[in-house]
C-alpha cells in the first residue's frame, strides 16, 4: 500500500489474496437491512423501493485529490465516502437505503486495509439503517472509491433545486466551515483543534433532516459539498432568483472556527461561505424553517446570483473539480 499507516509485509495483499477471496472477507458477517431483498453473491442485488421510485446518486473519491492516506485511515475514507453520498439523497428529501461500492487500489495494498475501509463503509451506512449491497474490486495506481447510493422518497415529491421563489427564507441545518478549517490545519501541519481536523476527515451530515425539510414544505434544497455560495448558486440558477445571505446570521459558524482561522491567517467567512465537504443541508422555505434549522438569508426577485449582505462576495468561491 502506498501509505505508512497501512504498510504490510507483503504476505497478505490484494494481489496475493486474489479478488474473490478479498471480496469474501469484505462481506463476511455483514447483516443487510430489510430494504435489501437480495444482497451480494449474484450478478446484481435486489433492493426494495416501497415508494415505487428510487433516488440514485453517485460520487467518487480519488486518493491525493479527495483524501490522503497519510491523514486518513481507511476506516475514515469509508465513512466519508458513505456520508457524502447519503447527503445527496438527504438533499432530495429522501433517505439512503443501499450503497454499491467499487474500489480501485494498487496490487500491493494490504488486504487488512481494504477490510478496514469496508468496516468504515458499513459503520456509516448503519447510521442510516442502510447496507452495502455490491460493488467491484479492481487494480488501480492509487486508491479510487466510487459509491452509488439508492434512496427512498417515502411517498414524497423530490425536493429539487428549481423551486425557490422570491419571498422564501433560506435556512441551513448542520455546520459550515468545519471541513475547510480542518483541511487548512492538516495542510499547514497545525496539530491543534483536533475536532476541526477530524471533521475534515469524516463529515457529519444532519441525517434525517432532508425528510424533515420536505415535510415542512421546502421549495428547493441541496447539500453543502462544494461550498455554501457554490451550492446555493445552483439553486439560484435553477430557480432564476437572487439569494441574499446575511453574514450576521452565519456568526455562530464563524465563531466556531475563529481561533483556527487566526492560527492559519484567513477570514472565517472564507471557510464558512466557500468551504465545502461539511454536507450540511441548505434549503428555501415559503415560511419559517422547521425546528433545528436556522435562517441565514432570503430569496428575492432578480437575476440568478448569490449575494452576501446585498453585495457580491469576492472571497473564496468554493470547490472547483478541475483546479
Segment 289-317, tens digit of pLDDT: 999 999 999 999 999 999 999 999 987 77
Q: Which secondary structure element, helix H or strand E, spans residue 35, and what is its range?
A: none
Mean pLDDT, the chain, as a whole number?
91
Contacts of 187 (CB under 8 A, 6+ apart): none
Q: Length of the chain, please?
A: 323
User: What is the band of 157 on the pLDDT scale with cuts at 50, 70, 90?
Assistant: very high
Percent of the chain past pLDDT 70, that is, above it, reads 90
Segment 2-22, tens digit of pLDDT: 443 344 444 688 677 666 666
* Secondary structure (DSSP) of 238-301: HHT-EEEE-TGGGHHHHHHTHHHHHHHT--HHHHHHH---S--EEEEESSPPPTT-EEEEEEES
Instruction: For residues 240 and 288, give the distance between their C-alpha atoms in angstroms, rounded to a whole number.
Output: 21
pLDDT of residue 316: 74
Segment 240-264, tens digit of pLDDT: 999 999 999 999 999 999 999 999 9
Q: In what order do the strands lie in the sheet with 242-245?
A: 220-223, 281-285, 169-173, 294-300, 242-245, 305-308
Amino acid at each position: 500500500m502506498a501509505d505508512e499507516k497501512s504498510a504490510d509485509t507483503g504476505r497478505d495483499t490484494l494481489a496475493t489474496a486474489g479478488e474473490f477471496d478479498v471480496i469474501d472477507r469484505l462481506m463476511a458477517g455483514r447483516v443487510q437491512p430489510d430494504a435489501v431483498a437480495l444482497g451480494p453473491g449474484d450478478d446484481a442485488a435486489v433492493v426494495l423501493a416501497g415508494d415505487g421510485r428510487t433516488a440514485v446518486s453517485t460520487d467518487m473519491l480519488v486518493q491525493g485529490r479527495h483524501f490522503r492516506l497519510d491523514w486518513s485511515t481507511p476506516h475514515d475514507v469509508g465513512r466519508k465516502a458513505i456520508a457524502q453520498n447519503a447527503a445527496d439523497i438527504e438533499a432530495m428529501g429522501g433517505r439512503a437505503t443501499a450503497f454499491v461500492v467499487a474500489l480501485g487500489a494498487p496490487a500491493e495494498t494490504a488486504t487488512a486495509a481494504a477490510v478496514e475501509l469496508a468496516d468504515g463503509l458499513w459503520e456509516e451506512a448503519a447510521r442510516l439503517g442502510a447496507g452495502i449491497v455490491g460493488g467491484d474490486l479492481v487494480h488501480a495506481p492509487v486508491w479510487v472509491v466510487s459509491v452509488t447510493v439508492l434512496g427512498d422518497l417515502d411517498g414524497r415529491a423530490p425536493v429539487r433545486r428549481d423551486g425557490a421563489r422570491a419571498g422564501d427564507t433560506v435556512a441551513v441545518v448542520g455546520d459550515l466551515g468545519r471541513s475547510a478549517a480542518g483541511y487548512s490545519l492538516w495542510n499547514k501541519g497545525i496539530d491543534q483543534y483536533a475536532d476541526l481536523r477530524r471533521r475534515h476527515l469524516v463529515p457529519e451530515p444532519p441525517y434525517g433532516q432532508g425528510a424533515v425539510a420536505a415535510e415542512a414544505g421546502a421549495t428547493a434544497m441541496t447539500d453543502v459539498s462544494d461550498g455554501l455560495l457554490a451550492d446555493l448558486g445552483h439553486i439560484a440558477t435553477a430557480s432564476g432568483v437572487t439569494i441574499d445571505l446575511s453574514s450576521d446570521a452565519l456568526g455562530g459558524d464563524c465563531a466556531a472556527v475563529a481561533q483556527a482561522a487566526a492560527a492559519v491567517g484567513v477570514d472565517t467567512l472564507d471557510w464558512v461561505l466557500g468551504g465545502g465537504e461539511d454536507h450540511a443541508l441548505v434549503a428555501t422555505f415559503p415560511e419559517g424553517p422547521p425546528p433545528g434549522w436556522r435562517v441565514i438569508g432570503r430569496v428575492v426577485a432578480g437575476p440568478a446570483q448569490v449575494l452576501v449582505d446585498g453585495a457580491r462576495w469576492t472571497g473564496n468561491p468554493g470547490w472547483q473539480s478541475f483546479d
